[in-house]
Copies of this chain bind each other. A is one copy, B any other.
Amino acid sequence: MDKKLKLKILDIMITARCMEERMAKMSKSADAFFWLGGVGEEAFNVPLGLLAKVGHGLDYDFFHFHYRNGSTMVAMGMDPMDQLRQTHNRATDPFSGGRNFCNHYARKAWNVVPVTSTIQTQMSVAPGTAYAQKRHGGDGVTVVTFGDAGTAEGDFHVGLNWSTIKDRELPVLFICTNNAYGISTHYDEVHGQDNLAQIAAGYGMKTKVIDGNDVEVSYEALSKAYDYVRKERKPFFLEAMVSRLHGHSSSSGGNRIPDGKEPDCLHAWRDKLVEQDLITREDYDRKYQAETRRMLQLLEEVRKEPAPEPGDIYNYIFASV
């Protein structure tokens, strides 16, 4: 990883973090009804976005995201303002027109299919895009992301099973961001395996478990995994152990968890780059404050944008014949 890339990743992580922190704050005011997001997953989710092949159609990657992929979207090029628009449920929200919760993206130009609130159903849908990609040829892959607790749904099996049929293996990159919790329930209380990759391995697919709090480890594992799926046209299961720094969502407070309880990947990356003399602590703080300010400015803009109209509920029910 060269210096430029390292700094680029840091910048995106900062942007994403500041965006999410603003969103969490919004949920404590009249600006938003709700927040949930990926604070603590940036070290992994940013490389996930940077390494993607982003575009429209079968030659590009398809994304079936979990609701914690904000920093992936930022890495892919999303304007944070769009996310604030959704969080503030403006009519200008490009992903849902003020209809859906934050982190519920939909962007056809990037093959980002609508994020659904129903945990794990994306695992049953992902084989469909992958099947089309495999038939089409090329090196586009289907990326599907999900949490640890959600793997208990039967859809987990559906996705793994459809992707490993003999001579019909599918180019799916399965990504489990394991933060050890489903809302309040700890991993150990509802699972019996050391990790979820063990289950996936039973299907005969390649798997790997990594420390998702480490940027370099994540970047490297993701490069290899993407590569494998792109070339072999077979599935890969990557499990990243990550943190959940603001808890589950605004429903459980959305507050920063006590210091030291879980590693902060942004701080770790900052400290590493400071140590490597790629950046000073002051640079970092300046950037962080600038992004924090920028998010507030964006929000101020967003606040001026119109709310949906009552009649909008009737838009986009059926596409016209």
Chain A interface (Cβ < 8 Å from any Cβ of B): 124, 152-158, 161, 164-166, 168-169, 188-193, 198-204
Which of B124, B154, B169, B202 is in CB contact (< 8 Å) with A199? B202
Could you tell me the distance between the alpha carbons of A199 and B198 in the complex, rounded to whole angstroms?
Answer: 10
Q: Which B residues lie within 8 Å of A158 (CB)?
A: 152, 154
Q: Which B residues lie within 8 Å of A198 (CB)?
A: 202-204
Q: Which B residues lie within 8 Å of A204 (CB)?
A: 192-193, 198
Closest to A192 in B: B164
Cβ contact within 8 Å between B203 and A199: yes
- Would A161 and B152 be within 8 Å (CB), given that A198-B202, A202-B203, A203-B199 are in contact? yes
Could you tell me the distance between the alpha carbons of A261 and B203 in the complex, rounded to whole angstroms?
Answer: 29
Q: Which B residues lie within 8 Å of A193 (CB)?
A: 164, 202-204
Could you tell me the distance between the alpha carbons of A191 and B163 in the complex, rounded to whole angstroms?
Answer: 9
Which of B166, B190, B199 is in CB contact (< 8 Å) with A165? B190
Closest to A207 in B: B202
Interface of chain A, main secondary structure? helix
Could you tell me the distance between the alpha carbons of A84 and B203 in the complex, rounded to whole angstroms?
Answer: 41
Copies of the chain in the assembly: 2
Cβ contact within 8 Å between B202 and A192: no
Could you tell me the distance between the alpha carbons of A157 and B154 in the complex, rounded to whole angstroms?
Answer: 6
Could you tell me the distance between the alpha carbons of A204 and B157 in the complex, rounded to whole angstroms?
Answer: 16
Q: Which B residues lie within 8 Å of A153 (CB)?
A: 154
Closest to A198 in B: B202
CB distance from A180 to the nearest CB of B (A): 13
Could you tell me the distance between the alpha carbons of A168 and B185 in the complex, rounded to whole angstroms?
Answer: 15
Q: Which B residues lie within 8 Å of A156 (CB)?
A: 154, 157
Could you tell me the distance between the alpha carbons of A165 and B199 in the complex, rounded to whole angstroms?
Answer: 13
Closest 5 CB pairs of A and B: A154-B154, A202-B202, A157-B157, A164-B192, A199-B202
Could you tell me the distance between the alpha carbons of A164 and B188 in the complex, rounded to whole angstroms?
Answer: 11
Closest to A234 in B: B192
Closest to A162 in B: B152
Could you tell me the distance between the alpha carbons of A201 and B203 in the complex, rounded to whole angstroms?
Answer: 10
Could you tell me the distance between the alpha carbons of A192 and B202 in the complex, rounded to whole angstroms?
Answer: 11
Could you tell me the distance between the alpha carbons of A68 and B153 in the complex, rounded to whole angstroms?
Answer: 28
Cβ contact within 8 Å between B154 and A169: no
Closest to A152 in B: B161
7 A-B contacts (beta carbon < 8 Å): A153-B154, A154-B155, A157-B157, A192-B203, A192-B204, A193-B204, A198-B204
Q: Which B residues lie within 8 Å of A157 (CB)?
A: 154, 156-157
Cβ contact within 8 Å between B166 and A188: yes
Q: Which B residues lie within 8 Å of A200 (CB)?
A: 202
Could you tell me the distance between the alpha carbons of A199 and B201 in the complex, rounded to whole angstroms?
Answer: 8
Q: Which B residues lie within 8 Å of A190 (CB)?
A: 165
**Taking each of A124, A168, A192, A193, which has the highest tally of chain B beta carbons within 10 Å of its own beta carbon?**
A192
CB distance from A156 to the nearest CB of B (A): 6
Which of B166, B189, B199 is in CB contact (< 8 Å) with A192? B166
Could you tell me the distance between the alpha carbons of A66 and B199 in the complex, rounded to whole angstroms?
Answer: 25
Q: Beyond the given A168-B192, A192-B204, A198-B204, could you list 7 further A-B residue pairs with CB under 8 A, ordered by the A residue number?
A: A124-B154, A156-B157, A164-B192, A164-B193, A165-B191, A166-B191, A199-B202
